[in-house]
A and B are shown apart, each in its own frame.
Chain A
Amino acid sequence: MNCFMSVLHYDSDLPRGRVTGLAIVLAAWWLAFAPAPAKAQFAPWAGGPPLPFLQGPDLASTLRNGAQMASDQSRLTAQFSKDMGRRARSAGYLMQNLWTDYQNLEIHFQNLRTTFNALGELALQLQSPRAANAAAELQAGLNIISEAFVPVQQEMQAGALNRDTVLRMCQVTNEALLEWQKELKKCSSRLGVIR
């Protein structure tokens, strides 16, 4: 930087104010693009498939991306569940509609689990019991929410599906996922996510 300053200083054709201004701009550019100091290294995703969310330049931003994506997916799955319940109430809702909706709901939920599993693995890299406990609680929450699918699965297997069971599953899944999303937001500080 001193080098830049001295070059500009001896360029007598330029007015003094302009020289100072240019020096500031160059200094700012240098600061902006200079190589950043080495940050704590983190293993992005050991061996497995690629991360289901955008990987940032450091662990903090990757955790933030993961938390945001898990939050969006839980909201999306909750909304899908709500819409499915609304459709299932109508008289024209047939078994084939239910089958398609149910499969889509499972896919949404599975995507959420995959995202959260990856987020939980990353949080473990913080090597803090707070983060690991928070991840374990949210994981257990998803396991419990998945119990809401069981009665519908059982009735499907028995070939005696009750509309009321489907409606109940939709309502419980919707409410539970919205609660889970709130909990994820609340736990984000424990998970090591800075907003």
Chain B
Amino acid sequence: MNCVIQIRRTCFFLALSFCVWLTAGCATSETGSRAPRRGDGLREFQRLVLDLRKDVTSTRQAVEALAAATQKNSAAAYARFDESLQRLEVVSIKARARVEAMEKRGDAYFEEWTEEISGATDDESRRAAKGRFAELHRHFEVILKDTAQVRQAFRPFLEESRRLRTTLGPEPRFEAIEQARPMCAQIVSEGQQSGAAMDELLKTLKVAEAAVMAGPAPLPKPRGKS
């Protein structure tokens, strides 16, 4: 009798473990992902631009400090500039990659954003949303235009900062830093322009986010290009 009970128990656990294994398999065999939330892409892009904005300011201030350095503190000023530029080079990669991909793929980003905002809505909202598609696309076009401005303004700032570092070399003499003051002034001006372009883009992104969050969601366009 004990033997029968033991066999029953073993069978039960075997069957149970099979069920668990099968259920686990089912849970991971589908292709898909977490459902995007309305405005996710816009918020993520704002965060990237904001991070880049901070590092551009930090590098611009480091160049200003380098230009104003005295013989006594020039080494420290240069070290600060070198460090902030290196950070900018790393931090900017994400934002630059996003901007390049957006410029290259254009409307595919709008499709992604409309996928996020169209979600599951009732028929009435869907009908009402049809009219908003054009309005949201206008926001998207402004974003693309501002993004191109940011790229155009940021590139010379980064390149000139790199050129300054190459010109000065490691552990530059104070005289070399003094001679590089006109170049520093140019970089500071480019940094300001780059910052202004980013501020404009951030404003545009905020307006677009408000438009996306308000009102009904538009219908997604039928997929063509991906």
Contacts and interface: CB of A to CB of B under 8 A. Distances in A.
Interface of A: 15, 17-18, 20-22, 24-25, 27-29, 31-32, 39-40, 58-61, 63, 124, 126-133, 136-141, 143-145, 148, 151, 162, 164, 168, 171-172, 175-176, 179-180, 183, 188-194
A75 B104 CA distance: 28
Given A15-B4, A59-B31, A24 B93 contact: no
Contact of A24 (B4, B12, B89): B12
Contacts of A28: 14-15, 18-19
A179 B12 CA distance: 49
Contacts of B5: 17
A7 to B, nearest CB: 17
Q: Report which residue of A60, A129, A162, A183 has the largest number of chain B beta carbons within 10 angstroms of its beta carbon.
A: A129
A77 to B, nearest CB: 15
B93 A176 contact: yes
B34 interface: yes
B8 A176 contact: no
Contact of A194 (B33, B86, B169): B33
Classify the interface of chain B: helix, strand, loop or mixed.
helix
B97 A132 contact: no
Contacts of B7: 17-18, 21
B38 to A, nearest CB: 14
Interface string B12-46: 10110011011000001111111010000000000
A58 B26 CA distance: 12
A194 B11 contact: no
Nearest to B91: A179
Question: Lowest 6 A-B CB distances belong to which pairs?
Answer: A21-B11, A28-B18, A140-B97, A60-B31, A136-B101, A141-B97
B15 A130 contact: no
Nearest to B114: A129
Classify the interface of chain A: helix, strand, loop or mixed.
helix
A124 B22 contact: no
B98 interface: yes
Contacts of B109: 129, 133
Given A28-B15, A32-B21, A192-B31, A133 B101 contact: yes
Q: Report which residue of B8, B21, B94, B109 has the largest number of chain A beta carbons within 10 angstroms of its beta carbon.
A: B94
B108 A129 contact: yes
Interface in B81-115: 86, 89-90, 93-94, 96-98, 100-101, 104-105, 108-109, 111-112, 115
A17 B8 contact: yes
Interface string B66-92: 000000000000000000001001100
Contacts of A126: 31
B112 A129 contact: yes
Contacts of B19: 28
B170 interface: yes
A28 B34 CA distance: 31
Contacts of B93: 141, 144-145, 176, 179-180
Contacts of B223: 127-129
9 contacts: A17-B5, A31-B22, A58-B29, A61-B28, A61-B29, A63-B31, A128-B226, A140-B101, A190-B36
Contacts of B115: 128-130
Contact of B90 (A127, A137, A164, A176): A176
